[in-house]
Structure 1
Amino acid sequence: MSCSGYWVYILLCENNTYYTGYTNNLEKRYLCHVDGTGSKYTRSFKPVKIAQAWEIHEGKRKAMQVERYIKKLSRSDKDKIITEPKLLDLQVI
């Protein structure tokens, strides 16, 4: 899942919460989260899987904007974009 652009991703954590982030190397970043070196949050609540990820071709700034947008969503809205990823594409990307 690595690419020349950026990824915005949602992880499902062991406590059934979501963690949202962005990176330019999804595989490497996910392994950091699993190893406990990705963030303080995922050090405490290990990720179970990548729930969803979106490739962002417009650069780091756009990836950060999308990440910020997702973080502000309610749990039910996050569930919707995980189930139907194109909903985020229509709203933000």
Structure 2
Amino acid sequence: MPWFLYLLECADGSVYTGIAVDVDARFAQHASGTGARYTRSRKPLRVLAQFELSDRASASRAEYWVKRLTPRGKRALAAGERTLESVLPAPADTAPAEDVAAE
């Protein structure tokens, strides 16, 4: 089942980052005041962007890195000026290291 990373624009100009299976349902929770504590005091206005990820673990990792961005960086991501891949750390090289013989 895919998970989504989403960005919400809030009434105070901030950008909230979260993950969910159903972004529309989660936005409705935020808008009704039953979502995250952060959005209870900063009314969410709209979904700026959403990105599909393969599973919850991938979505949680992406959320961690996106939350480290400045509001400007989050808006650039939402506008397509940055890709989600550009925010995430490069995957570790999975090729096995060559054995080096001691001389």
Give the TM bin, normalised by the shorter chain. Answer: 0.7 to 0.9
Tell me the equivalent position of 2:96: none
| Alpha-carbon shift at residue 76 of structure 1 (Å) | 2.0
Please give the TM-score of this superposition, normalised by the length of structure 1.
0.86
In 2, Cα distance between equivalents of 1:69 and 1:17: 17
The 2-side partners of 1:66 and 1:78 are apart by: 12
CA drift of 1:20 comes to 0.4
Write the letter of the residue equivalent to 1:50: V
1:1-93 → structure 2 map (5 Å cutoff):
4-57=1-54, 59-84=55-80, 87-92=83-88
Runs of 4+ in 1 over 4 A off after TM superposition: none
Gaps of 5+ in 1: none
Distance 1:26 1:33, change over 3 A: same
Q: CA deviation at 1:85?
A: 6.4
Indicate the structure (1 or 2) with the bigger Cα radius of gyration.
2
Structure 2 residues not aligned, in runs of 5+: 90-103
Q: How many residues align?
A: 89
- Percent of matched pairs sharing the same residue: 27
| Amino acid aligned to 1:34 | A
Q: TM-score, normalised by structure 2?
A: 0.79
